[in-house]
Chains A and B, each alone.
Chain A
Amino acid sequence: MAVIDFANPTRFLKLANRLLPWLAVATVLTFAYGLNGALHAPDDYQQGATVKIMFLHVPSAWLGMFGWMLMSVAALGTLVWRHPLADVAGKAAAPIGAAFTLLCLVTGSLWGRPMWGTYWVWDARLTSVLVLFLLYLGVLALYWTAEEPGRGARAAAILTLVGAVNIPIIKFSVDWWNTLHQPASVFRMGGSSIDPSILHPLFAMAIAFTLLFVTLHLAAMRNEILRRRVRAMRLIQAQGLASA
């Protein structure tokens, strides 16, 4: 079957229903493996056990950005090819991406407490993620406000692409702003090479998070398609009564 075949919503629904249980199982198994590895990973000699927050923090940051990339591709699909599934994909990805971004912020803030002695520091990296979260909120607000799904689609696609162009600029500006103001007192993770005993479970967690994202996204797309069908059927019901 060619990829284009899945672009048909009905066929997509069938495929999604068949794939979802397997994806769910794969997600749970990978999480079990990754968490087990994470728990047995050695503590950091400076940070102690708190370093384990990294196993949640880093993958969620990655998926927060991945979500926006996915939405940008979907936005191109909406604007250029005007594909109905593209909008569904974009809309379904927005709350999930926002949730992972929020998770990244929360874990970052919890990690920051023992590191910085305070829950929040306007550290360049965390602040960039916060701005990404705000961008997500904007897209969500746009979807919520649009009364018809089709209308919100193009508006959100445009906003998503503008955001995608802006994200590197924002990242650069925040870095510049931060170095301008802040003495380099902030903890940095880079520098030393990461030990394989940590790297290995981190990869496993990254895969687990990605699988979770894909599972949730597929389920959300399915729900969105069904929601639109319910809407269409109700419209037909209302019209049918008028003509009767």
Chain B
Amino acid sequence: MRLQAENVACSRGGREIFAGLSFSVHDGEALMVTGRNGAGKSSLLRTIVGLVRLTEGEIRLEGGRAEASVAEQSHFVGHDDAIKPALSVRENLVFWTRYLGGAADVIAALEAVELAPLAALPAAYLSAGQKRRLSLARLVAIKRPLWLLDEPTTALDSVAQQRFSVLMQAHLRDGGLIVAAAHGPAGLEKPRELRLGPP
């Protein structure tokens, strides 16, 4: 499986964010997108998943399900956690697993992010870090080859960061792909780096 971007360009509101960008990511490989604030890291991830339209070029996921779009084969983790405070921890995760793909072992996924004891609590009671962990639990619960992570570890403490890096390594070992926007190493071992920035 291979994520292939060819000569990709994106502009928003008349301003060109990036152009002429080509890269590929193979299975078991992680690509770390770096760059200063406003360099277009988030935009690139949103472009890959199809939330933002390309102005030029093409992005494909080769070797996946032929009929499925990149979005359907990706987990997108943005700045927001997509968690409803009025629903319980478990209900939040159950909803996303049902919506994104069907049956899943929700409790096992909650255990992977150490939230299983809080499954019955309303998500409103969670701290920012716990909400982020709940948001990441769906990556464990539903198998999708491509993970698109926009600074996934911001709210996490060092213990949780370590734990998430273990999850990421496991995903790569299983033949998954990761594209992460980050300032630091983000817990990835020897990632390839794609530096965005003003030319």
Q: Which residues of A contact B (CB under 8 A)?
A: 147, 234-235, 237-239, 241-242
- B125: chain A residues within 8 A (beta carbon): 234-235, 237-238
Contacting residues, chain B, for A238 (C-beta < 8 A): 118, 121, 125-127, 130
Give the interface residue-count category, chain B.
10 to 19
Chain B: CB-nearest residue to A238:
B125
B129 beta carbon closer than 8 Å to chain A: yes
A-B contact pairs, 25 of them (CB 8 A): A147-B85, A147-B124, A234-B121, A234-B122, A234-B125, A235-B125, A237-B117, A237-B118, A237-B121, A237-B125, A238-B118, A238-B121, A238-B125, A238-B126, A238-B127, A238-B130, A239-B127, A241-B114, A241-B115, A241-B117, A241-B118, A241-B130, A242-B127, A242-B129, A242-B130
B86: nearest residue on chain A (CB-CB)? A147
* Cβ contacts under 8 Å, A237 to chain B: 117-118, 121, 125
Cα of A237 to Cα of B118 in the assembled complex, Å: 8
> CB-CB < 8 A to A235: which residues of B?
125
Interface on B for A, CB 8 Å cutoff? 85, 114-115, 117-118, 121-122, 124-127, 129-130
For residue A147, which residues in chain B have a CB less than 8 angstroms away from its CB?
85, 124
- Please name all residues of chain A whose beta carbon is closer than 8 Å to the beta carbon of B114 when the two chains form the complex: 241
Mostly helix, strand, loop or mixed at chain A's interface?
Answer: helix
Docked pose: A237 CA to B119 CA in angstroms:
12
The CA of A241 and the CA of B157, in the complex, are separated in Å by: 13
| Nearest chain A residue, comparing its CB with the CB of B160 | A242
Please name 4 further chain A to chain B contacts, defined as beta carbons within 8 Å, in addition to the given A237-B121, A238-B126, A241-B130, sorted by A numbering.
Answer: A234-B122, A237-B118, A241-B115, A241-B118
A145 to chain B, nearest CB (A): 12
List the 5 closest A-B pairs by CB distance, nearest first: A238-B125, A235-B125, A234-B121, A242-B127, A234-B125
A residues less than 8 Å from B127 (CB atoms): 238-239, 242
For the complex, give the distance between the alpha carbons of A235 and B123 in Å: 10
Nearest A residue (CB) for B125: A238
| CB neighbours of B118 from chain A (8 A) | 237-238, 241
Rounded to whole angstroms, the CA-CA distance of A147 and B125 in the bound complex is 11
Say how far B157's CB is from chain A's closest CB, in angstroms.
Answer: 8
Q: Roughly how many angstroms separate A241 CA and B121 CA in the complex, as a whole number?
A: 12
User: Could you say which residues of chain B place their CB within 8 Å of the CB of A242?
Assistant: 127, 129-130
> Which residues of chain A come closer than 8 Å to B130, judged between CB atoms?
238, 241-242
Cα separation A163 to B124 with both chains bound (whole Å): 31
What is the bound-complex CA distance between A242 and B113, given in angstroms? Answer: 12
Min Cβ gap B36→A in Å is 32
How long is the Cα–Cα vector from A234 to B129 in the complex, in angstroms?
A: 17
Nearest CB of chain A from residue B75's CB, rounded to whole Å: 24
